[in-house]
Amino acid sequence: MIKAILIFNNHGKPRLSKFYEHYTEDTEQQIIRETFHLVSKRDENVCNFLEGGLLIGGSENKLIYRHYATLYFVFCVDSSESELGILDLIQVFVETLDKCFENVCELDLIFHMDKVHNILAEMVMGGMVLETNMSEIITQAEAQTKMEKSEAGIAGAPARAVSAVKNMNLPEMPKNINIGDISIKVPNLPSFK
Amino acid sequence: MLGYDVSWAAFNIVEVMSSSKFTYKRIGYLAASQCFHEGTDVIMLTTNQIRKDLSSPNQYDTGVALTGLSCFVTPDLARDLANDIMTLMSHTKPYIRKKAVLIMYKVFLKYPESLRPAFPRLKEKLEDPDPGVQSAAVNVICELARRNPKNYLSLAPLFFKLMTSSTNNWVLIKIIKLFGALTPLEPRLGKKLIEPLTNLIHSTSAMSLLYECVNTVIAVLISLSSGMPNHSASIQLCVQKLRILIEDSDQNLKYLGLLAMSKILKTHPKSVQSHKDLILQCLDDKDESIRLRALDLLYGMVSKKNLMEIVKKLMLHVDKAEGTTYRDELLTKIIDICSQSNYQYITNFEWYISILVELTRLEGTRHGHLIASQMLDVAIRVKAIRGFAVAQMATLLDNAHLLTGNTQRNGICEVLYAAAWICGEFSEHLEDPMQTLEAMLRPKVATLPGHIQAVYVQNAAKLFATVLQKHEGETDSQVAQETSQLLIERLPLFVQSANLEVQERASCIIQLVKYIQKLQQKNVEVADEVTALFAGELNPVAPKAQKKVPIPEGLDLDAWINEPPSESESEDEKPKSKAVFAKEEPKHSRRHTEVDEKELARRREVRKQEQANNPFYIKASPSSQKVFDAPGVEHIPVVQIDLSVPLKVPGMPMSDQYVKLEEERRQKDKADKKKKDKKKKREKRGKGRKADSGPESEEDITPAQQVDIVTEEMPENALPSDDDDKDPNDPHKALDIDLDKPLADSEKLPVRTHRPEVLKSPAEDRENESIPQESKKKSSKEKKEKKKDKEKDRKRSKEEKKKKKKHKEVEEELMESQPEEAVQSEDTKEMAVPPTSAEEVTAPSSTAAVDTSSAAAAESEPDEPKDTEPEDTKSSKHKKKKQKKEKEEKEKKKKKRHHHHHHHRHHSDGGGEDSVQNGTVEDEEPLPPMSNYSLLAENSYIKMVYDIQGNHQDESKVVVSVIFENKSDSFLKSMEFNVLDSLNSKLQRPDGAGPHDGLTVPFQLPPGVSNEARFVFTVQSIVMPQKLKGTLTFIVKSEESSTHEKLDFKLHFTCTSYLITTPCYSDAYAKLLESGDLKGSSLRLEGVNMPFHHLLARICFHHHFSGALTSQRSL
Which of chain A's residues have a Cβ under 8 Å away from the Cβ of B3?
14, 17, 25, 28-29, 32
Q: What is the pLDDT of residues B340-361, one digit of tens each?
A: 777 878 878 888 888 888 888 7
pLDDT, mean of residues B822-829 = 44
The answer to whether the Cβ–Cβ distance between A168 and B12 falls below 8 Å is yes
Instruction: State the pLDDT at residue B867.
Output: 43
User: What mean pLDDT do residues B10-27 have?
Assistant: 88
CA dist B242 and A56 (Å) reads 29
Chain A residues whose beta carbon lies within 8 Å of the beta carbon of residue B22 = 144, 147-148, 151
Query: Quick one: average pLDDT of B372-387?
Result: 84
Is the Cβ of B324 closer than 8 Å to some Cβ of chain A? no
Mean pLDDT in residue range B417-424:
86
Sequence-distant (≥ 6) Cβ neighbours of residue A133 within 8 angstroms:
B132
In angstroms and rounded to an integer, the radius of gyration of the C-alpha atoms of chain A is: 18
pLDDT of residue B578: 42
Q: Higher-confidence residue: B235 or B909?
A: B235
- Establish if A22 touches chain B: CB-CB under 8 angstroms: yes
Rounded Cα distance between B57 and B53, Å, is: 8
The pLDDT-based confidence of B931 (bands split at 50, 70, 90) is low
Indicate the average pLDDT of chain B. 70
Q: Which pLDDT score, from 0 to 100, does residue B320 have?
A: 76
- Model pLDDT, residue B872: 42
pLDDT the model gives residue A7:
92
The most confident of B138-147, B229-238, B817-826, B899-908, by mean pLDDT:
B138-147
* CA–CA distance, B989 with B986 (Å, rounded to integer): 9
Q: Which amino acid is at B1028?
A: L
Decide: B668 and B637 in contact? Cβ < 8 Å: yes
pLDDT one-digit tens code per residue, B1051-1062 = 888 777 777 766
Confidence of residue B845 (pLDDT cuts 50, 70, 90): very low
Return the top range by mean pLDDT from B333-337, B632-636, B696-700, B1067-1071: B333-337
Minimal C-alpha gap between B388 and chain A (Å): 39
When mean pLDDT is compared over A150-159, B384-393, B644-653, B794-803, the highest value belongs to B384-393
Residue B563 C-alpha from the chain's centroid: 36
With CB atoms and an 8 Å threshold, state whether B3 touches A164: no
Mean pLDDT is highest, among B662-666, B833-837, B1065-1069, for B1065-1069
CB contact under 8 A, A87 and B252: yes
Tell me what pLDDT residue B792 has: 52
Give residue B848's pLDDT.
39
Please compute Rg for chain B using Cα positions.
42
Q: Report the C-alpha gap between B314 and B1026 in whole angstroms.
A: 87
pLDDT at B700: 45
For residue B140, give how far its alpha carbon lies from the nearest alpha carbon of chain A (Å): 8
Tell me what pLDDT residue B907 has: 42
Indicate yes or no: CB of A118 within 8 angstroms of CB of B146. no
Residue B669 has pLDDT above 90, yes or no: no
SS (H, E, C) B553-620: CCCCCCCCCCCCCCCHHHHHHCCCCCCCCCCCCHHHHHHHHHCCHHHHHHHHHHHHHHHHHCHHHHHC
Predicted confidence (pLDDT) at residue B589 exceeds the cutoff of 50: no
Which residues from A are below 8 Å from B146, CB to CB?
80
Whether pLDDT at B643 is above 70 = no
> What would the mean pLDDT of B828-856 be, rounded to a whole number?
41
**Across B20-30, average pLDDT:** 88
pLDDT at B572: 45
* B57 touching chain A per CB within 8 A: no
Residues B445-503 have pLDDT tens digits of 777 888 888 888 888 888 888 888 887 766 666 777 888 888 888 888 888 888 888 88
Task: For B242-280, write each residue's pLDDT tens digit.
Answer: 888 888 888 888 888 888 888 888 777 777 777 878 888
Q: What residue in A sits closest to B103 (Cα-Cα)? A: A126
Over pLDDT 90: what percentage of chain A? 16
Measure the CA–CA gap between B510 and B144, rounded to whole angstroms: 66
Q: Are B38 and B67 in contact (CB under 8 A)?
A: no
Q: Which of B163, B165, B205, B204 is nearest to B180 (CA)?
A: B163
pTM for this entry: 0.53
Whether B774 shows a pLDDT value over 90: the answer reads no
Measure B225 CA to nearest chain A CA, in Å: 23
Mean pLDDT of B584-588: 42
Confidence at residue A92, expressed as pLDDT on a 0 to 100 scale? 92
| Percentage of residues in chain B having pLDDT higher than 90 | 1
pLDDT surpassing 80 at residue B233: no
Residue B230: the pLDDT is 60
| Reported ipTM exceeds the 0.95 cut | no
3-state secondary structure of B83: helix
Highest mean pLDDT among A105-109, B775-779, B1011-1015: A105-109
Q: Which H or E element spans position B52?
A: helix B47-54
pLDDT at residue B930, as a whole number: 61
Give the per-residue pLDDT at A45.
79
Query: Nearest to residue B310, comparing CAs of B301, B321, B320, B323?
Result: B301
Are B2 and A18 within 8 A, CB to CB? no
Residues B702-723 have pLDDT tens digits of 555 545 566 566 655 555 544 4
Span B814-823, pLDDT tens digits: 444 444 444 4
